[in-house]
Amino acid sequence: MPLPPLQAGSCCRYSAAAPSAGGLDPTTPVHGESFSDSGDGSRVPLLRTKSVQLGDLDSALLAEVKDVLIPHERVVTHSDQVIGKGHFGVVYHGEYTDETQTRVHCAVKSLSRITELQEVEAFLREGLLMRGLHHPNVLALIGITLPPEGLPRVLLPYMRHGDLLRFVRSPQRNPTVKDLISFGLQVARGMEYLAEQKFVHRDLAARNCMLDESFTVKVADFGLARGVLDKEYYSVQQHRHARLPVKWMALESLQTYRFTSKSDVWSFGVLLWELLTRGAPPYPHVDAFDLTHFLAQGRRLPQPEYCPDSLYAVMLRCWAADPAARPTFGTLAREVEQVAAALGGDHYVQMSAAYVNLGLDAPKDATVPPEQSLPPAVPRSPGRPRPLSEPPRPT
């Protein structure tokens, strides 16, 4: 039976991170002869070796890869169906044949933007991070394939509805407030699991969460995630060339370059804000280099128009200057669930209203403390709730 056609705009959008703040140097020139144009306008030198054999890999890494290896002849990559681009390369739509001889949709992460063998190994380690993670709200690893010619590829589940940011921004969708809060609840549950597994994600944002065919959210993109084990924090100074998502970062991470589960909590607050604004960019009039000073003065993102007061209170707790004062993801999951349960009805968050009362027309140096930035009473949209899968009604 033929597979259904690829849905446009779906799956695994691995966006470039936001510009870095002062003190963070995201780019370092690398000399080479062959270059590839990246999605962010930079030019990236390519690895001179176009293929990697098993024997080329670190022996310890090789042992791990063999545990999740999928024979290359069972994998078909549709090179004409690009569904995303990331730090390492391109994400394609593909299919693989599982143990029951069933053809299954998948996303195939390939390598095209690498400079040395160590980056090939880093790419594989990123994929292996997901090997032991099993939670309904965390993206799983299908496996890794090593073609006889070419570079390794990581296979991930195919996410029909693509990334969460693109979904909530789409004018073809008309989610209700409860829909958006439900997405946030699922992210909180996935992050609660990751925190229990001693993982710090470091790049939690709507763009890095995926939606499957049943609108289940999967926390994804572990390109910056690292297992912290018994360490108290993970320092970027050990990897100073990383591109960091500055406007999603906690104040202490901007100041000290340290990341913990509590800095992920700050990012989760920004993600909630993204959802309730239908994907508005955070701090649109604050330059990334000025963000540390902006936050240190106690300024925070304003309350979105359709955001319940109780949910905005949760966001503000996520953005507490003292990391110890922030809630855990377990607490956040319970509180967000309570907010959703307390809503009196389902209301649309219209695209035209999602950017109101966010200070987008304010001067660039606008500095409004959060307690003074609450919007007026929110007008609610009439009409019956519409399932996410139902197309919008004509106006």
Distance CA 203, CA 222 (A): 8
Residue 390 clears pLDDT 70, i.e. is over it:
no
> Looking at the chain, how many residues does it have?
395
pLDDT band at 128 (very low <50, low <70, confident <90, very high): confident
Backbone angles phi, psi at 24, to 5 degrees: -110, 120
Q: How far apart are CA 187 and CA 156, in angstroms?
A: 18
Token couple for 183: 């997405």
Q: Is 109 annotated as a binding residue?
A: yes
Report helix, strand or coil for 226. Answer: strand
Please write down the HEC assignment for all residues of 138-183.
ECCCCEEECCCCCCCEEEEECCCCCEHHHHHHCCCCCCEHHHHHHH
pLDDT bin (cut points 50, 70, 90) of residue 366 is very low
| Catalytic machinery residues | 203
CATH superfamily, domain at 35-157 = Phosphorylase Kinase; domain 1 (3.30.200.20)
Q: Are 114 and 158 in contact (CB under 8 A)?
A: no
pLDDT band at 381 (very low <50, low <70, confident <90, very high): very low
DSSP per residue over 95-151, as a string?
A: EEE-TTS-EEEEEEE---S--SHHHHHHHHHHHHTTTT---TTBPPP-EEE--SSS-
Beta carbons within 8 Å of 362's beta carbon, 6+ residues apart? 285, 368
- Between helix 309-318 and helix 261-276 the angle, nearest 10°, is 150
Nearest partner of 81 among 89, 91, 73, judged by Cα:
91
Residue 43 CA to residue 385 CA, distance in Å, equals 47
Farthest-apart Cα atoms in the chain, separation: 65
Which CATH number, 3.40.50.720, 1.10.357.10, 1.10.8.60, 1.10.510.10, labels domain 164-372? 1.10.510.10
- Residue with the bigger pLDDT between 254 and 32: it is 254
pLDDT band of residue 383 (cuts 50, 70, 90) is very low
In which band, very low, low, confident or very high, does the pLDDT at 351 lie, cut at 50, 70 and 90?
low
Beta strand 75-85 with 90-97 is antiparallel
203, 287, 317 from 283: Cα distances, Å: 17, 8, 18
Span 133-160, mean pLDDT?
A: 88
Residue with more model confidence, 382 or 176: 176
| Mean per-residue pLDDT over the chain, rounded | 75
C-alpha 181/C-alpha 268 separation (Å) is 12
- Encode pLDDT of 281-304 as tens digits: 999 999 988 999 999 999 999 999
pLDDT band at 231; cut points 50, 70, 90: very low
pLDDT of residue 204 exceeding 90, the answer is yes
**C-beta atoms surrounding 275 within 10 Å:** 28
Question: Using one digit for the tens of pLDDT, what is the confidence trace for 43-91?
Answer: 333 344 455 665 677 788 877 888 888 999 999 999 899 888 766 678 8
- Paired residues of 155 in beta bridges: 108, 143
- Domain boundary assignment for the chain: 35-157, 164-372
Cβ-Cβ contacts under 8 Å for 183 (sequence gap 6 or more):
164, 168, 209, 217, 275
pLDDT attached to residue 392? 41
